[in-house]
Amino acid sequence: MLVFYKERLVFLCVPKTGTTAYHTALRDRADMVISEPPDLKHAPVYRYNRFIRPMFDKVCNAQMETIAVMREPISWLGSWYRYRRRPYMKGRPNSTHDVSFDEFVRAYVKGDCPPFANVGSQAKFLAPQPNGTAVSQLFRYEDPDKLNGFLRDSLNVSFELKRENVSPDFQLTLSPDIEAILRRKRAAEFDLYDSIS
């Protein structure tokens, strides 16, 4: 999570959406950088609402705008699958070394998914809260120019991104029947992504 207090801007970091690169590029410009532990670096809207927002609201009387990045859902799952296939993951409960991408996605849509497919939900991460706390602006991972332009204009800063925390690069294909199940069972993921202008 990155906080730019003067600009009243908080960058929420959805896992597997390239946010580590933004952390590195903008950490010197940010007023607060939460990079550890992962549960705080990747605090979803509900955790931000419960712990971080009240700090600014009650102590500073400041209303913060929040931004986040969302990745196309199949691409996002593919990144998790490849990330959990790194060599040192072999033999661990959340390794994907012994499962195909189809098996990974089929396990992901189960109600009680196994550890290797337990990667959360972008829609749940970004879900608005009953008190109205929500992401002010949502950007597509696949269209970085919009986010980069927004950050340059809002923060009056120039920056360059370097690829970091990158999953192994290899081609994945999802069979049409598994994709159909994913789209049906996790429709909220696709609906939210499709709603980003």
Q: pLDDT of 100-155, one tens digit each?
A: 999 999 999 998 899 999 999 999 999 999 999 999 999 999 999 999 999 999 99
Identify the three-state secondary structure at position 44: coil
pLDDT tens-digit map of 13-37:
999 999 999 999 999 999 999 999 9
Residue 168 has pLDDT above 90, yes or no: no
Comparing 25-39, 54-68, 114-128, 162-176, which segment has the lowest mean pLDDT?
162-176
CATH code for the domain of 6 = 3.40.50.300
152 and 158 Cβ atoms separated by less than 8 Å: yes
Predicted pLDDT at 163 = 83
Predicted pLDDT at 179 = 97
Predicted pLDDT at 111 = 80
The count of domains in the chain is 1
Comparing 12-16, 154-158, 170-174, which segment has the lowest mean pLDDT?
170-174
Predicted pLDDT at 151 = 97
Identify the three-state secondary structure at position 29: coil
Question: By 3-state DSSP, what share of the chain in percent is helix, strand and coil, each rounded to 5?
Answer: 45, 10, 45
**Nearest-angstrom CA–CA distance, 40 and 34:** 7
Residue ranges making up the domain that contains 166: 2-195
DSSP 8-state code for residue 64: P
β-sheet bridge partners, residue 81: none
Helix (H) or strand (E) holding 73: helix 73-83
pLDDT band at 57 (very low <50, low <70, confident <90, very high): very high
Predicted pLDDT at 15 = 95
Sheet of 9-11, strand order: 32-33, 2-4, 9-11, 65-70, 137-140
Predicted pLDDT at 116 = 96
Helix (H) or strand (E) holding 104: helix 101-108
pLDDT band at 44 (very low <50, low <70, confident <90, very high): very high
pLDDT band at 166 (very low <50, low <70, confident <90, very high): confident
Predicted pLDDT at 169 = 76
Query: DSSP letter string over 135-197?
Result: -SEEEETT-HHHHHHHHHHHHT--------SPPP-------HHHHHHHHHHTHHHHHHHHH--
> Average pLDDT of the chain?
94
